[in-house]
Amino acid sequence: MSLFEWADGLYQETVPLIGAGRYEEAIEPCRRAVDAHRLLDAENPGEYLLDLAIVLNNLSLVLIKTGRPGEAIELLREELAVRRRLGASQDDEVARVLSVLGPMLATGGDLEEGVRAVEEAVAVRRRLLRDDPAAAGGLAASLTDLARVLALRGLQEEAHASVAEGLHLLRTSTSADYRDERLATALLLSGTLLARLDRLTEALPQLYEASELFGGMVETAPQEAAMCFHNFALAAIRLNRPELAPPALIGALLVYGNYGPADEAQSCADDLKQLYLMVPRAVTDAWKEATGERKVPAWVSGGRFRWRRG
């Protein structure tokens, strides 16, 4: 067996695990595949760079999915360097890696480097869009990532301008690639930023539209879906429309109940208690619609909420 066949065989072991979402199981096979492809590159400089980039991407993905961002950052840096070596053919992939890396750096404390990384991703994808209309979706995704890091920097207006540009691209682009996921993510961020800026009448319809989209993605994006439902409910309450909030708030609570984390479930439960004081009938009706139970649990009207997964 050649070195390439050995390395490729290790890569092939990882494909079904990642495809099935078995990320924890995939970590060690992905590590072995990366080690093998590093050796392959050392023995054949430049010949298998794309293969090395792919396995680095896979390992960083499973580490991110399993809550190991620190390890993933170094692998993303390595993948970025490899894709830069591959030249202009990898420009969109370079932008993709930068868009993943930037927010992770920013949330990990390296805010300035995170902003620079996503700004470069945006610049690369703007250039690509000039020649390829299908690049609009990728640019929209990077603009959303830029908004995220600008918001971390405290630049809420600038962040909203960035995500608003991304939303415009998504609504006017004919490209269907990942459109719903990108649109839902951009709408959630835009609506959340508008709420922070006290532009609640603009925030509410965007969060509602995002909630409609995330309603079909609960299994694949539970945290984002629950956050969206919760943010819509909070915006409705702040806008003095509490009667709109119960279905969304209960939806968020049920998603967090199934997927965690416990502190977010507790936050939803606390908000639901307060909402019940405002619109008890609407909460009761929404609870029945969501769960089939005719009465709300005792904790809603004053007892203690206890979170359990599932």
Confidence category of residue 179, pLDDT binned at 50, 70, 90: confident
Given the structure tokens 């629950």, which residue do they identify?
A: 226
Residue 296 lies in a domain: yes
- Average the pLDDT over 49-77 and give the result: 95
Residue 63 lies in a domain: no
pLDDT for the residue numbered 307: 59
Residue 212 lies in a domain: yes
CA gyration radius, the chain = 22
pLDDT for the residue numbered 173: 82
Residue 254 lies in a domain: yes
Length of the chain: 310
pLDDT for the residue numbered 269: 93
Residue 309 pLDDT greater than 60, yes or no: no
- Please say whether the beta carbons of 233 and 262 come within 8 A: no
pLDDT for the residue numbered 88: 87
Percentage of the chain beyond pLDDT 90 is: 87
Going by C-alpha positions, the residue among 281, 279, 278, 232 that lies closest to residue 255 is 232
pLDDT for the residue numbered 310: 52
Residue 75 lies in a domain: no
Structure confidence by residue, pLDDT tens digits, 124-162: 999 999 999 989 999 999 999 999 999 999 999 999 999
- Cβ-based neighbours of 127, under 8 Å, separated by 6 or more: 91
Q: What is the total count of domains within the chain?
A: 1
Listed range (14-28, 30-44, 77-91, 296-310) with the worst mean pLDDT = 296-310
Residue 116 lies in a domain: no
- Please say whether the beta carbons of 207 and 188 come within 8 A: yes
Residue 196 pLDDT greater than 70, yes or no: yes
- Average the pLDDT over 221-228 and give the result: 95
* Distance, CA of 74 to CA of 214 (rounded, Å): 31
**Cα atoms found within 13 Å of the Cα of residue 202, Cβ hemisphere only:** 14
Q: How far apart are the first and last CA of the chain?
A: 47
For 200, the token pair is 């609640």
- Please say whether the beta carbons of 167 and 182 come within 8 A: no
Residue 25 lies in a domain: no
Structure confidence by residue, pLDDT tens digits, 104-126: 999 988 999 999 999 999 999 99
- Please say whether the beta carbons of 221 and 214 come within 8 A: yes
Residue 303 pLDDT greater than 90, yes or no: no
Mean pLDDT value across the chain? 93
Q: Is the sign of the CA dihedral 58, 62, 63, 64 positive or negative?
A: positive
pLDDT for the residue numbered 220: 87
Going by C-alpha positions, the residue among 1, 5, 86, 4 that lies closest to residue 40 is 4
Q: What angle do CA 223, 102, 104 make, to 5 degrees?
A: 45
pLDDT for the residue numbered 195: 97
CA of residue 59 relative to chain centroid, distance: 18
- Average the pLDDT over 260-272 and give the result: 92
Residue 95 lies in a domain: no
* Domain housing 295: 201-310
Listed range (26-30, 247-251, 256-260) with the worst mean pLDDT = 256-260
